[in-house]
């Protein structure tokens, strides 16, 4: 008796139409749902290519390896921040502190280099500084039920204030500091004139972060847990998933990536660090994540989508600088409107799914 | 004894203690800190305390506006940018008009009108579209700052209009005009909130929007109302702060003021979870922030570092809010051995952080 379960004891009915059809319907339904979740990302992709083609026709020299590589290099810190922000937003939270953490990390790091601490050690410390801010906000959110945006807003002000206490004037890293190595130009393709495809170690770091983020979210247990928290936190807890550990881990990773972004950015600007660096970067990162199709309510989203989001922002910046007639004052309004359009698109899709 | 205990439980009681401690520290550094004197050239009273009252006027405005938004379980992150919009409209209008009283009213009217439109957009996104308040107002924060830039063409416009300048620099019965106007506005609002059912309706939406819908409270007009009120009050705050120097700084006016407003509201005892508000508490919270701002300057700490102090205060406050809930929960579940007394020593520790 015990050898047979209930399902085994019932004889199979071959070719029963009732058992097959719902399965097909449900598979179709799953595919439809998945494609719906992809709509914002696809829209972003279409927008991206539309903008690039428009820019190529209107101003020329856009699909140039020189233009492309310099654009990629200048957006490397944003790519790193966007990956961290994707984790946080998929878990249903938000991290407003990343821009300020970049400022604190870079000012503190450069000052440490100036008093003679080894450059490599300092770079490690810069990541640790970021992670410490992440730990504090993670603990506040997980154990004290503070809303994520309040906790990280407090961290934003703390980091910005501490950076200002350290120095209100720009500090510059010593000439021989290894951080400058991160900004060396590596020519991959040697084109005619300035049309070379060059990458910097900083950009490579950003690409590695993207790859790491992709595997973390889609191939690791912790990544699955992050999706589960964003989908329904209490269900995740009831399933016995390590919610507390995962949530704190996300904020630590987001903070640490902000520290990494600080290293890459500081290297790129020639070792100069300022307490006003990174104002509004958290908004760029959030915008990139939302444009890339991650739901602000959590549970849905892709790391690679966020990278498309960063490219959309980069293309926007490219058009505005190439055009020259568009008032730079409109930039924040345009970014805001694009963000709003994508949030509304999300809202439309989630509402349809809910009903 | 009983009244002492209720005073200790009142959240804004600790704000009053905080103000007293800060004033005491300043008086220790300079015994003449609290002294008032008459300026021989203008015949007006001058003194540090009057200065604090003057700078508190804009903070009171945004804090009171934020109070109602938070009471509906929302948040308005756009108040700082709204101040810039108000200031920019006023300065741009006044720079093209004569220095008459009529010009002043035109400027104030236009500033309020634009703020109300932008506030209505916030209300539309939250109440009708159903976006999260924090993301709608974050977008508005971006967009409104851009709008302020567009209005003044990116310049820091200045203007001359004596009646308008008197808003911040004049005095009524020895008190700064802006402070008197701010208090009058708060009293009128408090009258409408507490002598009509409006306040209760706002609180009921914050507690449970569905239940309040069932008892016949329509949430949409009220949500529209609170976001419009918040934007209009922020514009008034912006008018106060530009009339002080008769210049609008498109990136500086109202920058990071949204945290001041949230902080004042939390200090005043309004819960971030919504459902109850204290207008008096928020006003006193705003006074504490103004005192903190001025004291930090007076004690010679760089002004850019103030965010760090505010961040510490807000971290302690939100932890206190959650700790309180915990001690209440534990006290009921286990025994009555530890009544919610632990909150009190913790609250006094927070004042040391302020100092």
CA distance A333 to chain B (A): 4
The residue with greater pLDDT, A324 or A56, is A56
Q: Do A161 and B322 touch (CB under 8 A)?
A: no
* Rounded Cα gap, residues B318 and B14, in angstroms: 14
Give, for A171, the enclosing helix (H) or strand (E): strand A171-172
Could A161 and B309 be called an inter-chain contact, meaning their C-beta atoms sit closer than 8 Å? yes
Q: How confident is the model at residue A103 (pLDDT cuts 50, 70, 90)?
A: very high
Cβ-contact A165, B305 below 8 angstroms: yes
For A199, which DSSP code? E
Residues of chain B by 3-state class (helix, strand, coil), percent to 5? 75, 5, 25
Residue B62 in this model has a pLDDT that exceeds 80: yes
Q: Residue A351: its chain B contacts at CB < 8 A?
A: 130
Arithmetic mean of pLDDT over chain B? 81
Report pLDDT for A13. 53
Strand pairing class (A186-189; A197-199): antiparallel
Taking an 8 Å cut-off on Cβ atoms, the answer to whether A151 and B318 are in contact is: yes
Nearest to residue A289, comparing CAs of A110, A88, A132? A88
The predicted model gives B198-209 an average pLDDT of 85
Q: What is the pLDDT of residues A273-317, one digit of tens each?
A: 888 888 778 888 988 998 888 888 888 888 988 999 999 989 888
Spell out the residues 6+ positions from residue A177 whose beta carbon is closer than 8 angstroms to its own. Answer: A113, A119, A271
DSSP 8-state symbol, A193: T
CB spacing of B308 vs A297 below 8 angstroms = no
For residue B204, the surrounding DSSP H or E stretch is: helix B198-207
Is A330 in the B-facing interface, judged by CB distances under 8 Å?
A: yes
Cβ-defined contact of B139 to A339 (cutoff 8 Å)? yes
Question: What pTM does this model have?
Answer: 0.80
The predicted-structure confidence for B3-48, as pLDDT tens digits, reads as follows: 666 666 677 777 788 888 888 888 888 887 777 777 777 767 777 8
Say if the Cβ atoms of A297 and B132 lie within 8 Å: yes
- Residues A312 and A11: their CA atoms lie apart, in Å, by 57
- Tell me which residue in A144, A150, A283 faces B272 most closely, judged by beta carbons: A150
Instruction: Say if CB A255 and CB A102 are below 8 A apart.
Output: no
B chain contacts of residue A343, beta-carbon cutoff 8 Å: 131, 135-136, 139
CB contact under 8 A, A327 and B150: yes
pLDDT attached to residue A320: 83
Residue written as token pair 């569905």: B210
Beta bridge partners of B38: B45
CA atoms within 13 A on the CB side of A250: 30
Question: Measured between alpha carbons, how far is residue B355 from residues B1, B301, B312 in Å?
Answer: 28, 12, 11
Q: Which CATH number does the domain B8-300 belong to among 3.30.2310, 1.20.1530, 1.10.8, 1.10.3470?
A: 1.10.3470
Taking contacts as CB-CB distances below 8 angstroms, the residues of chain B near A161 are: 304-311
Q: Which two tokens stand for residue A209?
A: 């972060």
| Secondary structure of residue B156 in the 3-state scheme | coil
Instruction: Quote the CA–CA distance of A108 and B169 in Å, as a whole number.
Output: 40
Q: How many other β-carbons are positioned within 10 Å of the β-carbon of residue B43? A: 8
Compute the distance between CA of residue A143 and CA of residue A123 in angstroms, rounded to an integer.
30
Residue A219: Cβ within 10 Å count: 9
Query: pLDDT tier at B184 (50, 70, 90 boundaries)?
Result: very high
> What residues does each domain of chain B span?
8-300, 303-355
Interface contact A331-B146, CB threshold 8 A: yes
Contacts (Cβ under 8 Å, ≥6 apart) of B335? none
Query: A147 in contact with B at a CB cutoff of 8 Å?
Result: yes
pLDDT per residue over B303-321, tens digit each?
A: 777 888 888 888 877 777 6
Measure the CA–CA gap between B148 and B235, rounded to whole angstroms: 12
Measure CB to CB from residue A157 to each of B134, B136, B307 and give the nearest one.
Answer: B307
**pLDDT score, position B352:** 39
* Cβ within 8 Å, pair B310-A286: no
Nearest by CB to residue B139, choosing from A280, A297, A336, is A336
* Residue A94 near chain B (CB below 8 Å): yes
Asked if A164 and B256 come within 8 Å (Cβ–Cβ), the reply is no
* Terminal C-alpha separation, chain B: 28
Q: In this structure, what DSSP letter does residue B305 have?
A: G
Which residues does residue A116 pair with via DSSP β-bridges, in sequence order? none
How many Å is the Cα radius of gyration of chain B?
21
Dump pLDDT digits (tens) for A188-221.
666 666 667 778 888 889 999 999 999 998 888 9
Residues in chain A closer than 8 A to B134 (CB atoms): 94, 149
Q: Do B139 and A161 touch (CB under 8 A)?
A: no
Nearest Cα of chain A lies from the Cα of B97 at a distance, in angstroms, of: 25
Q: Judge contact between A85 and A286, C-beta under 8 A.
A: yes
Least CB-CB distance to A157: which of B272, B310, B319?
Answer: B310
Closest CA to B132 of B196, B181, B53, B69: B69
DSSP A273: E
Q: Quick one: pLDDT at residue B354?
A: 38
Instruction: Provide mean pLDDT across the span B91-101.
Output: 83
- ipTM, 2 decimals? 0.74
Which pLDDT score is estimated for B336?
Answer: 40
Q: Could you give the C-alpha distances from A339 to A42, A334, B139, B140, in angstroms and in order?
A: 15, 8, 7, 11
- Report d(CA A195, CA A245) in Å as an integer: 48
Interchain contact A294–B (C-beta under 8 A)? no
Question: How far is Cα B333 from Cα A31, in angstroms, rounded to an integer?
Answer: 48
Domain borders along chain A are 40-354
CA–CA min distance A229, chain B (Å): 18
Cα gap A82→A95, rounded to integer Å: 11
Q: What confidence tier does A125 reach under pLDDT thresholds 50, 70, 90?
A: very high
- Please judge whether A330 and B146 are an interchain contact, meaning their C-beta atoms are less than 8 angstroms apart: yes
Q: What was the pLDDT predicted at A183?
A: 73
Fold assignment, A40-354: ABC transporter involved in vitamin B12 uptake, BtuC (1.10.3470)
**Cβ within 8 Å, pair B146-A333:** yes
The yes-or-no verdict on residue B250 having pLDDT over 50 is: yes
Give chain A's mean pLDDT: 83
- Please give the residue that has the higher pLDDT: either B145 or A327: B145
- Candidates A144, A162, A343; nearest CB to B319: A144
């Amino acid at each position: 008796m015990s050898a047979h379960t209930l399902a085994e004891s019932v004889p199979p009915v071959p070719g029963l139409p009732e058992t097959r059809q719902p399965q097909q319907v449900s598979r179709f339904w799953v595919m439809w749902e998945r494609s719906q979740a992809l709509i914002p990302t696809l829209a972003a992709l279409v927008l991206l290519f539309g903008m690039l083609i428009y820019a190529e026709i209107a101003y020329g020299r856009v699909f140039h390896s020189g233009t492309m590589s310099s654009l990629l290099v200048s957006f490397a810190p944003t790519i790193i921040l966007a990956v961290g922000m994707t984790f946080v937003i998929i878990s249903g939270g938000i991290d407003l502190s990343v821009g300020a953490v970049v400022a604190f990390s870079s000012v503190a790091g450069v000052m440490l280099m100036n008093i003679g601490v080894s450059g490599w050690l300092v770079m490690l410390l810069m990541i640790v500084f970021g992670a410490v801010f992440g730990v504090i906000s993670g603990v506040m959110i997980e154990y004290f039920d503070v809303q994520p945006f309040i906790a990280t807003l407090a961290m934003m002000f703390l980091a910005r204030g501490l950076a200002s206490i350290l120095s209100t004037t720009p500090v510059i890293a010593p000439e021989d500091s290894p951080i400058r190595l991160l900004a060396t130009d590596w020519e991959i393709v040697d084109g005619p004139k300035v049309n070379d495809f060059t990458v910097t170690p900083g950009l490579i770091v950003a690409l590695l972060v993207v790859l790491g983020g992709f595997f973390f979210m889609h191939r690791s247990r912790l990544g699955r847990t992050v999706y589960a928290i964003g989908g329904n936190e209490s269900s995740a807890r009831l399933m016995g998933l390590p919610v507390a550990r995962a949530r704190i881990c996300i904020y630590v990773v987001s903070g640490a990536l902000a520290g990494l972004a600080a290293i890459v950015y500081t290297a790129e600007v020639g070792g100069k660090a300022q307490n006003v660096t990174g104002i509004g970067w958290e908004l760029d990162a959030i915008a990139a994540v939302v444009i890339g199709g991650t739901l602000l309510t959590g549970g849905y989203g892709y790391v690679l989508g966020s990278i498309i989001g960063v490219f959309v922002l980069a293309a926007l910046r490219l058009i505005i600088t190439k055009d020259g007639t568009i008032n730079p004052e409109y930039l924040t309004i345009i970014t805001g409107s694009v963000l709003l359009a994508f949030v509304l698109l999300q809202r439309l899709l989630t509402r349809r799914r809910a009903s | 004894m009983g009244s002492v205990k209720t005073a200790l439980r009142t959240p804004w009681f600790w704000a009053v203690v905080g103000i007293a401690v800060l004033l005491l520290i300043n008086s220790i550094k300079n015994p003449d800190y609290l002294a008032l004197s008459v300026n021989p050239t203008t015949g007006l009273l001058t003194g540090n305390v009057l200065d604090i009252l003057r700078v508190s006027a804009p903070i009171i405005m945004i804090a009171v506006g934020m109070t109602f938004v938070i009471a509906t379980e929302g948040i308005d992150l756009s108040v700082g940018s709204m101040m810039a919009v108000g200031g920019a409209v006023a300065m741009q209008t006044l720079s093209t008009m004569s220095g008459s009283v009529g010009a002043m009213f035109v400027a104030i009217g236009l500033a309020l009108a634009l703020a109300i439109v932008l506030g209505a957009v916030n209300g539309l996104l939250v109440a009708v579209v159903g976006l999260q308040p924090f993301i709608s107002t974050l977008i508005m924060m971006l967009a409104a700052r851009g709008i302020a830039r567009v209005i003044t063409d990116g310049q820091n416009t200045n203007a001359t209009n004596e009646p308008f300048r008197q808003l911040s620099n004049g005095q009524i019965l020895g008190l700064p005009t802006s402070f008197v106007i701010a208090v009058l506005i708060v009293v009128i609002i408090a009258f409408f909130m507490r002598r009509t059912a409006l306040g209760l309706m706002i609180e009921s939406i914050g507690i449970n929007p569905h239940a309040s819908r069932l008892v016949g409270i329509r949430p949409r007009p009220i949500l529209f109302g609170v976001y419009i009120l918040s934007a209009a009050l922020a514009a008034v705050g912006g008018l106060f702060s530009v009339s002080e120097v008769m210049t609008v700084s498109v990136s500086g006016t109202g920058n990071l003021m949204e945290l001041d407003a949230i902080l004042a509201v939390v200090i005043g005892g309004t819960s971030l979870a919504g459902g109850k508000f204290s207008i008096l508490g928020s006003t006193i919270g705003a006074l504490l922030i103004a005192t903190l701002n001025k004291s930090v300057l007076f004690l010679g700490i760089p002004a850019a570092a103030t965010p760090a102090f505010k961040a510490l205060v807000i971290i302690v406050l939100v932890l206190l809010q959650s700790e309180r809930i915990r001690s209440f929960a534990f006290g009921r579940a286990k025994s009555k051995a530890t009544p919610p007394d632990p909150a009190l020593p913790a609250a006094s520790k927070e004042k040391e952080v302020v100092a």
